[in-house]
Structure 1
């Protein structure tokens, strides 16, 4: 799928918000500036967030709770995680019980983290458009908004 501009990236996030639910993991991969946070912002806005979501790069975890969003969401940026063991302290698996996890840089935890996650990978083309590749697990097939 090609995302032509920022509006298309936000729209994809909004489409994901319509089908995402607590307990889900959406893993966002791609180089710096590819649009991972833009997808998250579109999703969070569609879930009711009225202000622009900050990038969680420095905080690592940015939580959103009811009534700020329709249900709890943790926006997580693992860019600064150097070893998967560091992530255990974050308590993400426990938080997943009642929250949607939006994970940027999931590859920092290794290929076996969250096998049931929706994995979205963004690449930037020379003309500035983004191409999106999705790995859609069984838990998402009936809900995946782009089929």
Structure 2
């Protein structure tokens, strides 16, 4: 199952993240794909704030991971852009993050190839000819499909 949307601006990117937040359940792995500046962190901001986070949501480019605690789940936002070798993830205890009470959003997942679990949802953001973004959210598992069905309905 897949949904496609065109996003005209940052506000619509945040709104789409918020919509997905209403359908989330743990455990879930979400890959965020797209070039630099395509809105992966903006999408994450909408999602995390819709879950109730009051503070800033920043890209974890240097820290590699930002964590957010909620009543029903924990959310981890990874940015692997600066990762030099997937083995670095072993040193940070990557497997400890992917547990039954967690939703993990991973930017640049290809940099962690071989050490990351497969995605339940794949979110791909691309620039379109109008200067906005086209987004495709693809369910890769039954858990991802359950989530997407809630967004579509």
Tell me, what secondary structure is at the counterpart of 1:132? strand
Match of 1:59 among 51, 56, 63: 63
1:18 equivalent to 2:26? Answer no
Q: Please, which runs of 5 or more residues in structure 2 have no aligned partner?
A: none
Asked whether 1:44 is paired with 2:48, we answer yes
Greater alpha carbon shift after TM alignment, 31-40 vs 82-91: 82-91
Give TM-score scaled by structure 1 length: 0.88
- 1:74-118 deviations in whole A, cap 9, x for unaligned? 111000112222222233332221221111111112378432421
Equivalences, count: 145
Distance 1:42 1:119 in 2: 17
Mapped partners of 1:130, 1:88: distance in 2: 34
Q: Which of 99, 106, 111 is the matching residue for 2:109?
A: 106
Q: Is the 8 A contact 2:89 2:112 kept in 1?
A: yes
1:116·1:139 contact (CA, 8 Å) conserved in 2? Answer: no
* RMSD value, Cα: 1.9
* Residue 38 of structure 2: aligned partner: 34
* Structure with more of its chain in strand, by fraction: 2
User: Cα 1:107–1:146, aligned 2, differ >3 Å: closer, same or farther?
Assistant: farther
Q: CA deviation at 1:120?
A: 0.7
